[in-house]
Amino acid sequence: MTRVEKVDVVIVGARCAGAAAAAPLARAGRSVVVVDKSRFPSDTMSTHVLVPNGVQELQRQGALDAILAMNPSRSRFLTLQDGDVEIRERFRPFSGIDFGLCIPRTLQDKALVDAARAAGAEIREGVNVDSVVHTDGRVAGVRCRTKTDEYEIHASLVVGADGRRSQVAAEVGSWEPYRSSRNGRGFAFRYVDDPMGDDAPDAMQIYREEGDSVLVLPSCPAGRMVVVNMVDAALIPRFRADPDAEWEGVMQRNPRVRERIEGATNVSSQRTTADLASYYRRSSGPGWALAGDSGHFKDPTTGNGMRDALKFGRLLGETAAVHLDDPVELDAAVRRWEAERDADTISTYHWGNRETRPGPTSPLIREVLRTFSGSTGPNLSDTFNRARPVEAVISPRRLVVGLSRTLRTPGVDRGAVLREVLQEIPIEYGMRRHRLFDGFRSCRPTASEHPGAEFSRRPSVRTAQGDRPPESGRVSSPDGDAVLARDRQS
């Protein structure tokens, strides 16, 4: 006989989304158990960026005071240098917070776990989830395993917050995204001690040159920083084969990067990834939900992944806490939560698809960027800060001004510029159409998306005899709203 526990909610995964969902549930008096195969502190691949809109989520979670006690650098500005274009803007404040943070995940996630525990959630570390339990057509719990024990946790709601390779997504039949886009950029990054010391700028810095896009991010503790090179994904094997040579190559191609980071000491080993395909998975169903990267992922060049995991993890917890006693109401409420998440993230999803294209900045894009020069207040930085939709910040007026300036530039290849415009117009149209008109769970493709997305190996699905087979994640209706094909498995 398998031992069975009964709680209101079980969450698989205790990082950003899982911890953020657990805290409001516990504060509302709901019994919630969070299981994670890791033991904290534990590292994970991440760019670490939280601008003010994201930092306010740490405050709402109850984790900000503990993080600020670590003496992190606080970045109040965003700077971008691309050729002769220089932009420096102060971030727009949110909830009185006017700074961004870049905390190593070993430190940040431990603070989030501690905050969820302080709120009353039970966090169990070193626990593997083998499978999902189904009862009467609903997800009803999970089967757990430790080194010394096996048991089931039954719950009114199971939340998968277990990342891109989500076991829960596979178990509920939602592994295959209903829309996705292949990434063109990979990430290679290192931690270093800032050679500028106390004179370092309080800014998150972006340097773009010859196809490289280098981020210099003040980190934790103060005086430490993360240097991230977003390169053509096809080059990542070279970075893995000879990290030091490629590091030097970046500085040779971009003298401003050399000036900023040359002489850095206490250099960590390099971390890399090219597994960054963007997607939306169906993220709610009878008795289950997918939060964070389990349900949605966009290219990290937007710097919005952790913010979205924290915000919509929290909103999922707040939503579920009200409706757990009525399964019909719960399913409807979680579906509304999913639709709200999608509406909030669509603009940055398409922006990430656009920015993932490797290669040098074109004269047209540089002139569009130049329209932001000279403004010290929040403007371009609102794209990262999610104060406005991306297409409202990079507006049609700016695009027209940039085009006009480009065509007047001496020696410019006007034919190449016009061909680029013809390529960009469908992207601009598709971004706006999707956000405004396409509807929830639309699988109608847009011009920003790149075909051929590949995903890490799907986790094996272990259904016990008598369990209902999981649903397929394929959406068969044009608008994706309600008709889900079911693949029956023997």
Q: How confident is the model at residue 161 (pLDDT cuts 50, 70, 90)?
A: very high
What's the rounded Cα separation, in Å, for the pair 193 and 222?
9
| Residue 38 backbone zone (phi > 0: left; psi -120 to 50: alpha; other: beta) | beta
**Judging by DSSP bridges, how do beta strands 9-12 and 157-160 pair with one another?**
parallel
What's the rounded Cα separation, in Å, for the pair 225 and 215?
10
In sequence order, what are the beta bridge partners of 150?
Answer: 145
Per-residue pLDDT at 46: 86
Q: How confident is the model at residue 375 (pLDDT cuts 50, 70, 90)?
A: confident
Q: Domain 185-273 classified CATH 3.40.50.720?
A: no
Per-residue pLDDT at 463: 53
**DSSP single-letter state for residue 199:** G
- Would you state the structure tokens that stand for residue 389, as one six-digit string? 């939709």
Greatest alpha-carbon pair distance for the chain in Å reads 80
Whether residue 483 has pLDDT greater than 80: no
Whether residue 141 has pLDDT greater than 70: yes
Whether residue 486 has pLDDT greater than 80: no
Q: Please compute the mean of the pLDDT values over residues 353-370 and round it to a whole number.
A: 94
Whether residue 453 has pLDDT greater than 70: yes
Per-residue pLDDT at 476: 29
Per-residue pLDDT at 470: 42
Residues 6+ apart with CB under 8 A from 367: 401, 402, 403, 405, 406, 409
pLDDT tens by residue, 81-101 = 999 999 999 999 999 999 999
Q: Where are the domains of the chain?
A: 185-273, 360-438
Question: In the chain, what is the straight-line distance between the N-terminal and C-terminal CA atoms, in Å?
Answer: 25
In sequence order, what are the beta bridge partners of 131?
Answer: 143
Compute the chain's Rg from CA coordinates.
Answer: 23
- Stronger pLDDT, 474 or 122, i.e. the higher one: 122
Per-residue pLDDT at 344: 96
Q: Please compute the mean of the pLDDT values over residues 190-218 and round it to a whole number.
A: 93
Per-residue pLDDT at 101: 97
pLDDT tens by residue, 47-79 = 789 999 999 999 999 999 999 999 999 999 999
Torsions phi, psi for 182 (to 5 deg): -70, 135
- Stronger pLDDT, 476 or 149, i.e. the higher one: 149
Q: Do residues 140 and 160 lie in contact, with contact meaning Cβ atoms separated by under 8 Å?
A: no
Per-residue pLDDT at 457: 74
- For 165, the 3-state DSSP assignment is coil
Per-residue pLDDT at 458: 79
What's the rounded Cα separation, in Å, for the pair 47 and 38?
19
Cα-based angle 355, 294, 174 (whole degrees, multiple of 5): 110
Residues 6+ apart with CB under 8 A from 393: 379, 380, 382, 383
Q: Do residues 214 and 228 lie in contact, with contact meaning Cβ atoms separated by under 8 Å?
A: yes
Cβ-count burial 311-334 (b if 16+ within 10 Å, e if not): bbbbbbbbbbbebbeeeeebbebb
Cα 330 to Cα 59, 288, 317, 322, 398: the distances in Å are 27, 10, 12, 8, 44
Q: How confident is the model at residue 211 (pLDDT cuts 50, 70, 90)?
A: confident
- Stronger pLDDT, 458 or 133, i.e. the higher one: 133
Cα 362 to Cα 351, 354, 359, 365: the distances in Å are 17, 13, 9, 5
Nearest to 188 by CA among 271, 84, 90, 92: 271
Report the amino acid identity of residue 11: I
Percentage of the chain lying above the pLDDT 90 cut: 87
CA dihedral 188, 194, 196, 202 (to 10 degrees): 80
Residues 6+ apart with CB under 8 A from 245: none
Q: Please compute the mean of the pLDDT values over residues 141-153 and round it to a whole number.
A: 95
Q: Please compute the mean of the pLDDT values over residues 458-482 and round it to a whole number.
A: 45
Report the amino acid identity of residue 67: I
Per-residue pLDDT at 474: 33
Q: How confident is the model at residue 481 (pLDDT cuts 50, 70, 90)?
A: very low
Per-residue pLDDT at 478: 29
Q: How confident is the model at residue 462 (pLDDT cuts 50, 70, 90)?
A: low
The mean pLDDT value of the chain amounts to: 91
Whether residue 337 has pLDDT greater than 60: yes
What's the rounded Cα separation, in Å, for the pair 152 and 139?
13
